[in-house]
Chains A and B, each alone.
Chain A
Amino acid sequence: MTDLALSLDRELSSSQGLPRASGYLRHKSSVIFYDALEEALSRLEAVLPPLAGLRTMVLLPDGLPSALINLECFRQGATIAPVSPRIPEVQLERVIRRLEPDLVFTSDLLYAKFAMSLRGRAVALAGSATVRIVPGRQGDPRAGTRKREKSAVRAIFFTSGTTGEPKGVCLSELNLLAAAHANSEILRLDSARKSVIAVPLYDYYGMIQLYSHLHSGAECTLGESAQFGTSFFGAIAKCTATDLVLVPHALRQLLDFTERSANEHLAELWRGLSHVVSSSDLLPDDMTRRVFRLNPEISVVDVYGLTEIGRAVSRILRSGEHNGRPGGTPSKGVEMRIDSATGTGEIVLRGPTMMLGYLTGIHDEEVQFQAVEEIRTGDEGRITATGELELLGRRDHIMNIYGEKLHPSAMEEPARQLNGIRDAIAFLESDGDDVRTVMHVVADASSVDEETIRNHLRPYVPRTFLPRAIRFVREIDRTEMGGKLRRPETGKGR
């Protein structure tokens, strides 16, 4: 264990239990104050089996029940595997086969929906007021007398990925606490801050927000979606938010909603914010410019990290300053290098938030994983003369036509800046013996046409890559949070 990891371990273990802080956790109209959390968790503990060492799957939408269950599982020493309630059933079955959960927390609705996959599993049905246990094939988990030891693996996140079997990222207690600590430090969270968090708890980015906000005493409002602008801004107003925590796609949705509404009240809400926190995907310059136009005093915090190594690198953007490319400064204890002799290549990271490894299976009730010594991110980048990371994009998305290379974002971002275009994705497609660039756009065909789009792209894109086909689509497939585009599996060119 590195010196930093040891000192973090000492620091964090000296603050056992929950912070005695003011502030609250909110979801819609439900609120729980931090100083009432201990009591709420004790009530939960009373109806649950001992959770230490149990593999618990949390298959719940965002809300106070899922937040409390998450905290109680952590507090008691369970291994928690949060899963999106919108998971396709085939994938859920795969996750269940690999994880072999001892207890599944879910809702009545989702239990009925996933009845086939959950058959035989011990289930804890979480309502708004209580939890009801449904025994599984192995009996009632409350009846067992054998206590399990806390596992080294305290959380498992099954990454969505873009292809193939989702990987189970295994995280230790130190990883979780270090990531929460890093988040608090990056954002300089304190009890005066109030965040609206548009990132779900079943995503690592969201779960870390919960832990770091509790740790610092900052208030948080969960479960809001930028797709629903009216209720999102209602939540901002209700809690007089200082911070928005989201992904770039959600930020774009809110900015578009604000501009469409042309409503002074919304503009006032933006002026009341001190921070916009973005992560999970590249944050384009045009978006930060739009934020600064609404509020020149705001700080935009752009965090780079993966589930495999959370909150690794960050930069703070301010209006009027030269903000540079995506990337930034590594968090305390994070080491980074570029795997290349030329200075530009794959970003490789290690540090206290680095996962233990990928799940390989369960053996004798022990979670087993393939240990790692560093994280090869699959992202392209370089390190500047001042030691900062410059992030260039996903390596496997780079388009290559006859040796000429271009990252699709170099085309997508300019396209999104064109009036009338709400989203865009570029990719290569086979065209007989040849290959061509195709672009899908979300826009009204009446407001913008193909030729206008091509002419707009000409200054940005080499002629080889100008899209030969532009198709108007209703929506572009993104990962569930909207953070990442799901790119078609196409040929990479010639």
Chain B
Amino acid sequence: MTTHEVALEIRGFVARETGTRDASIIADDQDLFAEGLLDSLMTVSLVTFCEQRFGCNIGPDEFSDEALRTIRGLAAFVSSRTGAGA
């Protein structure tokens, strides 16, 4: 699975979790928390989704990195942990 495909899946998950009908409005570089999309419970759900869907481990403090709170950042992180292609 490429990083782009990972990003697509993450975007789809975020859209479903947040009740956003049109996933395409969520840009790659928007801070999902700062923009008001995710709350703390949804953030945990997103981490769980990534761990279960992509088989990577995300520690409780890694999401503390602001870069991981964007679709692009999270997809790149997941890819680096799973060895996915660019």
Q: CB distance A61 to B19 under 8 Å?
A: no
Determine if A33 is an interface residue (Cβ-Cβ < 8 Å): no
Q: CB distance A61 to B22 under 8 Å?
A: no
Q: CB distance B61 to A260 under 8 Å?
A: yes
Determine if A461 is an interface residue (Cβ-Cβ < 8 Å): no
Q: CB distance B35 to A107 under 8 Å?
A: yes
Q: A89-B19, A480-B39 are in contact. Are A231 and B66 (CB under 8 A)?
A: yes
Q: A86-B37, A107-B35 are in contact. Are A230 and B22 (CB under 8 A)?
A: no
- Beyond A28-B34, A86-B38, A257-B64, 13 additional contacts (C-beta under 8 Å) are A62-B34, A109-B30, A113-B19, A113-B21, A113-B37, A115-B21, A227-B40, A227-B64, A228-B66, A230-B65, A257-B61, A261-B61, A482-B40
Assembled-state Cα–Cα distance A227/B41 (Å)? 10
Residues of A within 8 A of B37 (CB): 85-86, 109, 113
Task: Choose the segment among A39-47, A328-336, A471-479 that binds chain B (4+ C-beta atoms closer than 8 Å).
Answer: A471-479
Determine if A23 is an interface residue (Cβ-Cβ < 8 Å): no
Q: CB distance B35 to A477 under 8 Å?
A: no
Q: CB distance B36 to A85 under 8 Å?
A: yes
Of residues 201 through 237 on chain A, the ones whose CB sits less than 8 Å from some CB of chain B are 223, 225, 227-232
The residue in chain A whose Cβ has the minimal distance to the Cβ of B24 is: A112
Of residues 31 through 51 on chain B, the ones whose CB sits less than 8 Å from some CB of chain A are 33-44, 48
Residues of A within 8 A of B38 (CB): 86
Q: CB distance A230 to B61 under 8 Å?
A: yes
The residue in chain B whose Cβ has the minimal distance to the Cβ of A249 is: B40
The residue in chain B whose Cβ has the minimal distance to the Cβ of A256 is: B60
Residues of B within 8 A of A107 (CB): 35-36
The residue in chain A whose Cβ has the minimal distance to the Cβ of B20 is: A113
* B residues lining the A interface (CB < 8 Å): 18-22, 25-27, 30, 33-44, 48, 61, 63-66, 69
Assembled-state Cα–Cα distance A115/B21 (Å)? 9
The residue in chain B whose Cβ has the minimal distance to the Cβ of A86 is: B39
Residues of A within 8 A of B19 (CB): 88-89, 113
Of residues 58 through 106 on chain A, the ones whose CB sits less than 8 Å from some CB of chain B are 60-63, 84-86, 88-89
Query: Looking at the complex, which one of B18, B64, B65 makes contact with A113 (CB distance below 8 Å)?
Result: B18
Closest Cβ of chain B: how far from A251's Cβ, in Å? Answer: 14
Determine if A21 is an interface residue (Cβ-Cβ < 8 Å): no
Determine if A110 is an interface residue (Cβ-Cβ < 8 Å): yes
**Main secondary structure on chain B at its contact with chain A?**
loop
A side interface size, CB within 8 A? 34
**Main secondary structure on chain A at its contact with chain B?**
loop
Q: A88-B19, A89-B19 are in contact. Are A61 and B64 (CB under 8 A)?
A: no
Closest Cβ of chain B: how far from A70's Cβ, in Å? Answer: 15
Query: Looking at the complex, which one of A61, A225, A231 makes contact with B40 (CB distance below 8 Å)?
Result: A225
Query: Contact string, A459-494, partner B, CB cutoff 8 A, digits 1/0?
Result: 000000000000000110110101000000000000
Closest Cβ of chain B: how far from A482's Cβ, in Å? Answer: 6
Shortest Cβ-Cβ A-B pairs, 7 listed = A85-B36, A61-B36, A230-B64, A112-B25, A228-B64, A475-B44, A86-B39
The residue in chain B whose Cβ has the minimal distance to the Cβ of A232 is: B64
Q: CB distance A228 to B63 under 8 Å?
A: yes
Q: Can you list 24 A-B contacts (CB < 8 A)?
A: A61-B36, A84-B36, A85-B35, A85-B37, A86-B37, A88-B19, A89-B19, A109-B26, A109-B27, A109-B37, A113-B18, A113-B37, A116-B21, A225-B33, A227-B40, A227-B63, A228-B63, A228-B64, A229-B61, A230-B65, A232-B64, A257-B61, A475-B41, A482-B40
Q: CB distance B40 to A110 under 8 Å?
A: no
Closest Cβ of chain B: how far from A118's Cβ, in Å? Answer: 13
The residue in chain B whose Cβ has the minimal distance to the Cβ of A85 is: B36
Q: CB distance A61 to B43 under 8 Å?
A: no
Residues of A within 8 A of B20 (CB): 112-113
The residue in chain A whose Cβ has the minimal distance to the Cβ of B33 is: A225
Query: Looking at the complex, which one of A86, A89, A231 makes contact with B36 (CB distance below 8 Å)?
Result: A86
Residues of A within 8 A of B61 (CB): 229-230, 257, 260-261
The residue in chain A whose Cβ has the minimal distance to the Cβ of B38 is: A86
Q: CB distance A478 to B64 under 8 Å?
A: no
The residue in chain B whose Cβ has the minimal distance to the Cβ of A112 is: B25
Residues of A within 8 A of B39 (CB): 86, 480
Assembled-state Cα–Cα distance A60/B30 (Å)? 14
Assembled-state Cα–Cα distance A62/B42 (Å)? 18
The residue in chain B whose Cβ has the minimal distance to the Cβ of A109 is: B35
Q: CB distance A223 to B34 under 8 Å?
A: yes
Query: Looking at the complex, which one of A61, A223, A230, A477 makes contact with B41 (CB distance below 8 Å)?
Result: A477
Of residues 103 through 156 on chain A, the ones whose CB sits less than 8 Å from some CB of chain B are 107, 109-110, 112-113, 115-116
Residues of B within 8 A of A61 (CB): 34-36
Closest Cβ of chain A: how far from B50's Cβ, in Å? Answer: 13
Assembled-state Cα–Cα distance A261/B66 (Å)? 18
Residues of A within 8 A of B64 (CB): 227-232, 257
Residues of A within 8 A of B18 (CB): 86, 113
Closest Cβ of chain B: how far from A61's Cβ, in Å? Answer: 3
Assembled-state Cα–Cα distance A450/B39 (Å)? 29
The residue in chain B whose Cβ has the minimal distance to the Cβ of A475 is: B44
Assembled-state Cα–Cα distance A232/B36 (Å)? 17
